[in-house]
Each structure stands twice: as structure tokens, then as C-alpha cells.
Structure 1
């Protein structure tokens, strides 16, 4: 099934009855875009891939660090195996030393959107840089709104539970080789201003700078002490980032009045193994699939879906409003 189905094929009611004539005469629909929001570590990438395996979609990265080449562990980029063959855009395409601004993102994202929709695929924008997403959607000339209709999914996790997870995630990143990855980019002659641009702003890079500079002059205990402090700072700053991202999402919801479909993933992070996977399906993936299905077909919850995610009328024949807003 391709995106032409979403825009051109009017689904039939049970028994093969066409939709009401007034619906068929509505103006052509805008291109549809799915945007996945959430603080770092909440499972945005996982959800975007889940959705892209259910609907014909491609993913656009909106994380200002992951857009740069390098530091795959440090910036927590998904692996090729995790991507499950879903096309991803704006990952590892910018030189590490170059600043990547909201304007840069808007320009590149617009190009990717046009490319994806030309292939009749659904664009899924996902990442933690909410200011980039806001700049794209609420541009001054309202060009984006005139061309695209959005559905916003917000993966949320309670802060105490998320902070614990993020601390453990840093430990896992250390086990995977975070220190050596950052060390490879370290130069004792680096200008301190370097950490205010490009990928060098990524959490872990400035925190480890002091450790690398002191390392040659310290004994084993001294190095362990300085490294422990650096790791603690990495964890603290990661949690601060999550809180800042959450504040921004609340602003988009409460001040900008974006209609966000909140998905509470807290229970997922309280469980392990199969129980966590089952909680993810029940609380995050399945509700998201239903929401996106309604969004793509412009039908309300009175419609169910068959195995091909085509709508089947159940209790109503009245088209509902799309599940999107700004």
C-alpha cells in the first residue's frame, strides 16, 4: 500500500457503499506528515520504526547532534540493525565541526519531505530537537502549514523513572566504548570555543575534556576519581536535557496549542524483557497505529481496520475530522 491510497482512494463502507458525495467533493488534501516528540530516551526512534513497518514511510531525523557525522555511541544513533531497512534521512550528513542551525534543518527537511512524498511515502519526523521542529512547522510565512497536515505523537515517561533509565543508559554507552570514541576526537590543543559548535556540543564531549587533559598527570586512583566526576556530570546533563525537552513539549502543547497525542510509556520502563515489550505494544505501539490510521484516512474512531490497515465502517458513516492540528 502506498501513499496514493491515503490521498486518492476513498474507502468504501461495508457492503461497497461509496462515501457521501459531499466528502468526495472536498478540496484536495494536503500532504500528511507524522511528527514523533519526546524527551531523550523515551523510545521515539523505536516508535518511528514500529510505525514505518506498518505504514509506507520514511524517517527524517530532527536531532541536532545525530545529523553530524561521527560519535555514533555518544549521540545514541540507531544501528543499521535497529533501522530494519527503513530509509532514514539527515543522519550523519553534516561535518562534525560545522554548526547546524534551525534554518539549516528547515531547508534540508523540506527537501527530504518533498522527496519522500514524491515517492508516495509518509514522512515521519523524529528527534529530540523540538526547537527545530517548531521552526519547521510554525515558519513565519506559514508555507509548511499550507502544504502539510500533521499528526503529533508524544512519547512520555515520568521524570523519576526516565532519569533512572538515562543513568543506566550512560553506563551502557560506556560499556560500548563511549570514552574511546570521544577520545579519538580529543586534541589537547583544542580551542575551548570548540565545545560551542558542531558535534562537540554533544553531551559527553565537553565533560570528558578535563579528564583527557588531566589523565597523563594522574596516578590510577586520580584518573578514576576524575573519570567518575566526568561520568556523573554526563548523567546530570543528560537528565537536564530531558527536562528541558519536556518543558519545550509542554510549551508547544499549552502555549502554541499543538494537539499532541500523548502516549504514556512509563509502565514500559518499569518492566523488563517480554513484560516490557508487551507493555510497549499495549501502551505505545498499538494506540499509535490506531491514531495514525485515523489520521491517514481522515476517519474517526468509529472505523476499525483490516489486515492491510484499510478502514472498515462499524457504527457511523460520517467522516470525522483528521486527528491533527497545529
Structure 2
């Protein structure tokens, strides 16, 4: 038995498409101060207002993409877990930051197998407090709560790792070879204030139009700069010209300013430019979920066609692509123990 155990972690999903389950999930997600970074009273008020209508709307969206086996994200994540178990001589457990299986369930399952170290293998290529930081904090909380004698090692954001980029290219290449007019990289959005808060320099992020193109220590924790890096690296490996691709950000919530350009506006602009066959990739996600399947694959496709486009093809996420499974297994074996 290996001294290391793997906690494969992703964002999460409601238990079902019932409104009550969706409301419970959204409440847990939105009440996380790393997600809605307001003081507790203001956060509670805002989330309570959101929960008046959003659960019913979201339940319908989940129902439109729900698989027979359950939530696509959960089903795919189980497949990834099983693929890793088949490749590794160490325990692998699955956890979701919100919903179930919970981080607590996953960590206790690993501790029960006698591991001395847990590698938190989150599935977030780019860094954000609302994804990586909150996952680390929850894992630390569980370890403290149960007084577990285990080390916690955290996989860093992996947007710049060549084997990740190679896996992304390998999984997407067959779809690009079918021909397209334009490739859009659509990333999950963030409020601009999240970028400023994560900027260790205090004066780089969003200070100019070209801040992501200018080298800075801020890029180590800048979500937008890391999204830009993935897009440019992918385009370079695929030999794409600058006018063949662009990037945008989706999933806005509330009235605050979010990072631009917005995917919804970009879809209309591309159709107006005469783009007929549009490919969309979502490299902020490693597994298909409601943000890819429903927001882009259904609503985005409908919007693009209504605006004058002819075809929107959603390129699947990495999911359980064999090369990606080999890459994750390699990281599980070789990721250094945290100091």
C-alpha cells in the first residue's frame, strides 16, 4: 500500500434535478465566502434573494442535460476516479467541494486506509480563490476537525504544464480537424475584484489593457492571465493564426463588473462577422458540466444560430480521455510532497 492517497476533487453538483436539491446546493455554493466575498450579513441577504428564483431556473437547466446515470459531472468524475484506480497502486477517492461525495467523506475514506499523505488533486487548471483556495481550506478544516495525522499536499494550478496542454490538444484535435471558421475559448468568469484581491503586487491586474501580456509576479495567481496563457499555448501548438481564435468569459452572476469580453456578447459579434461554423472549447473545466453542456452546448448554440451563425460545435472537455488519465496518474506518482 502506498503512503500517498489521492483525493480527486471537482466543484460539485446537486443531488438531483429537484428544486429542493438544487436550492440546497446553490446555498452551500454561494454562501462560501471565497465565491461571494461579502461580509456574512450582506452575503446571506444576497444569496437569500438569489434563492427565491434561481433554484427553479437552474433545476430546469440541470434537467435538460441530466444523464440516466445522474449528474454528468459526477458520472464523468467517477469514471476518472476508476481510471486512476486502475493505473495506480494507491488509494483514490472522489470528492466535490459542494454537494456529495463531500471533501469530508473523501478525506475520512483515505484516512481509514492508513495513508500518511493526501494529495489534493483538484481539477482546476487556472488559479482562483473560488476554486483552489476554498478547496484547500475545506480540506484543512476537515483534517483539523478530526485531528488526522496526515500531510496535505496540493496540486498547483496546472495551466502551464506541458503534459496538460498536450492532453488538451490531443482531446480537441479530432474536432478541429473537421473544419471550422473560428475557435472560441470560453472560460468561466470571475468578478474583477477577485483578480485585484489575488494580485500580490497590488497594482498590476487590470491596471492596463495589456496587463496579462506584460510579465509580472501577479500572473502566479491571476486567473485571467492563466486563461490567456492556455489559449495562446493551445493556438500555437495547433498552428492557429490570430484571426482564427478568440477568448471570452461566461457565467456572470449579479451586477458587479466581471472580466471581459463576455461570451454572450462574443457569440453575437462572431455571428455578425460572418462566422458560420463555430467551435467552442471550455478549458476552465476538465469535465463537462452544466456550464459546458447547457450554457454553451444548448443556450449558446441557440443564441449563435439566432444571431446568424449556422453551427456551434461544443468541443468536449478532457473528461476521461486516455492521455489525460495517463497525465493525472503521472502527477499522482511524481508530485512532490508539500513542505
Q: Taking structure 1 as the reference length, what is the TM-score of the superposition?
A: 0.33
